Structure 1
Amino acid sequence: MTFENILVATEGHLATLTINRPSKLNALNKATIQELHDALAQLDAEATIKAIILTGSGEKAFVAGADISEFAHFSIEEGAQLAALGQEILFDFVENMKTPVIAAVNGFALGGGLELAMACHFRIASDNAKMGLPEVTLGVIPGYGGTQRLPQLVGKGRAMEMIMTAGMIDAETAKSYGLVNHVVPQAELLEFTKDIASKITKNSPVAISYAIKAVNAGLIDTKEGFKTEIKSFGKCFGTEDFKEGTTAFLEKRKATFPGK
């Protein structure tokens, strides 16, 4: 896969996708959003890929925000369409992928950058990372799911404060809030993330995809989440992964999941 604004590398069952606009601190423009969708869709459809790491190029930024120059003069209708399309093709798409996506947050994750990290299934940050939603300083609100995912992750009060003040928090604060799972030195970020990803790739990709679906359903509606869990749990019994996993357990060996 060759793109203008992103880099894709694969190693065994793991793919690393790097947003590569260093001169713009990896800011998201329309072209980059579309490329991210295209690359992630291809990786999600590839049976050999069992985990994806999403990061930014350089040491300054994961994604420093959206490319404001593209929408500064938009009308009400154009603004609504921008948010709807972006959520559909990237942010909601990432959240609902069957392949786990881990955000390796290296540096600034602001506005659309933080919203992209929050759409990933979980986040690991470098110790120099800074996170925030500064949109109200521009007279607009977070439009790519920020007002929805941030309260889910850090609670209503902290989310309200972050959004209303437009302030940034550092990596350790983000960890204490539950916004990121781990904080590691910048130089160790990718290797640390790859180590966690490698543990994921050893497990059943079918079961993981069902788990993602069930967790997401519960965040929308608790009752629906339980229903989805029950249904997905049952479906697992009809998979080759379940047969292999249970057989391997009984035979006291490590499972080799076919992903079916």
Structure 2
Amino acid sequence: MILTSKKVNENYLKVFINNPPINMFDPAFSLELRTLMDELENDENLKVVVFESENPDFFIAHLELLHANDFPKGTGKTGLSLSWPDVAKRLQLAPFVSIASVRGRARGFGSEFAQAMDMRFASKEKALFAQVEIGIGSFPGGGGMERLHLLTGKSRALEIILSGNDFDADTAAAYGWINRAVPDAELDDFVDNLARRIAGFDKNAIARIKEILNERAVSPTNEQILDTQTKFFESLQWPEATNRIKALFQKGLQQNGEVELNLPKYL
């Protein structure tokens, strides 16, 4: 199992990510996430879900590139692709609150996974965020092109996406990428206390607040999300992208080692 969960109380669930060696988002992860989303939506008592990693070095490293064509095909409940966009949209529309508690590296899809949550908190000392797709000759395909600029503004989103660099939690917080950076020793208690507090309020009020904010906010359309994802997977076949990806694998991409720990250095 990649995703395991623990009921803190009847209104509050914690989900733990563990996909060795570096928590990549692969087809198996995608299938489990879809199943989990069905369970979350069917839990009438659920008010808060917190996602965290069991690997202190990697929240979610990035998309697993060797099997990029093997993700589930078809259309999900929202009219979006089954692999990830559908789940992300369902999290946005869900009557419960989703929170990412980030330790380690959240690059590429890892960053986009966190962006899809309602809130994001990160370890001041141990979290790193990046959109590294430019380094393989591509661009974000899991929502980064649609959601990141809504959090950071256009110019900072361009800095993040075009640099392919790591950003520490303090900078991510200053940019609006995450809610706040929290000292690592305090992160678990901070997120837990917030989740428990939200879980103590009326679910109808929580759901209505999210509904109204979703109506007021600028959100990407299904067509925009599908268009970007289609173009992203097409870009992986570009000659420059295939050459860059091959070179990165030769250096140690997708292995738990120096390249993944310091990925922007090798792009």
The question of a shared fold, defined as TM-score above 0.5 by the shorter chain, is answered with yes
Pick which of 196-205 and 208-217 moved more: 208-217
Q: In the alignment, which residue of structure 2 is the partner of 1:168? A: 166
What is the CA distance between 1:58 and its match in structure 2?
Answer: 2.0
Q: In the alignment, which residue of structure 2 is the partner of 1:109? A: 106
Aligned equivalents of 1:131, 1:88: Cα separation in 2:
20
Kindly indicate whether residue 166 of structure 2 is the aligned counterpart of residue 178 of structure 1.
no
Secondary structure at the aligned position of 2:63 is classed as coil
Letter in 1 for 2:7: T
Aligned equivalents of 1:92, 1:161: Cα separation in 2:
25
Secondary structure at the aligned position of 1:106 is classed as strand
Query: Identity over the aligned pairs, expressed in percent?
Result: 28
Letter in 1 for 2:183: P
Aligned equivalents of 1:50, 1:150: Cα separation in 2:
25
Kindly indicate whether residue 199 of structure 2 is the aligned counterpart of residue 194 of structure 1.
no
Q: How does 1:69-88 map to 2 (within 5 A)?
A: 69-71=66-68, 84-88=81-85
Aligned equivalents of 2:130, 2:123: Cα separation in 1:
15
Is this contact kept in 1: 2:53–2:103, CA < 8 A? yes
Q: In the alignment, which residue of structure 2 is the partner of 1:31? A: 28
Secondary structure at the aligned position of 1:49 is classed as coil
1:160-184 Cα shifts (integer Å, max 9, x gaps): 1111111111000011111212222
Q: Which protein has the larger Cα radius of gyration, Structure 1 or Structure 2?
A: 1
Kindly indicate whether residue 39 of structure 2 is the aligned counterpart of residue 42 of structure 1.
yes
Could you tell me the TM-score, scaled by structure 1's length? 0.75
Kindly indicate whether residue 98 of structure 2 is the aligned counterpart of residue 98 of structure 1.
no
Structure having greater relative contact order (Cα 8 Å, sep ≥ 6): 2
Out of 209, 212, 220, which is 1:211 matched to? 209
RMSD, aligned CA: 2.0
Provide the aligned length of Structure 1 versus Structure 2.
210
Secondary structure at the aligned position of 2:217 is classed as helix
Q: Which runs of 5+ in 1 are unaligned?
A: 222-260
1:113-141 Cα shifts (integer Å, max 9, x gaps): 11010000010001211001111111221
Letter in 2 for 1:90: V
1:70-108 Cα shifts (integer Å, max 9, x gaps): 12xx5xxx9xxxx94334332222222211000001111
Out of 58, 65, 71, which is 1:68 matched to? 65
1:152-208 Cα shifts (integer Å, max 9, x gaps): 000000001111111111000011111212222333322211100111011111121
Kindly indicate whether residue 56 of structure 2 is the aligned counterpart of residue 59 of structure 1.
yes
Kindly indicate whether residue 1 of structure 2 is the aligned counterpart of residue 10 of structure 1.
no
Is this contact kept in 1: 2:62–2:107, CA < 8 A? yes
Letter in 2 for 1:218: R
What is the CA distance between 1:20 and its match in structure 2?
Answer: 0.8
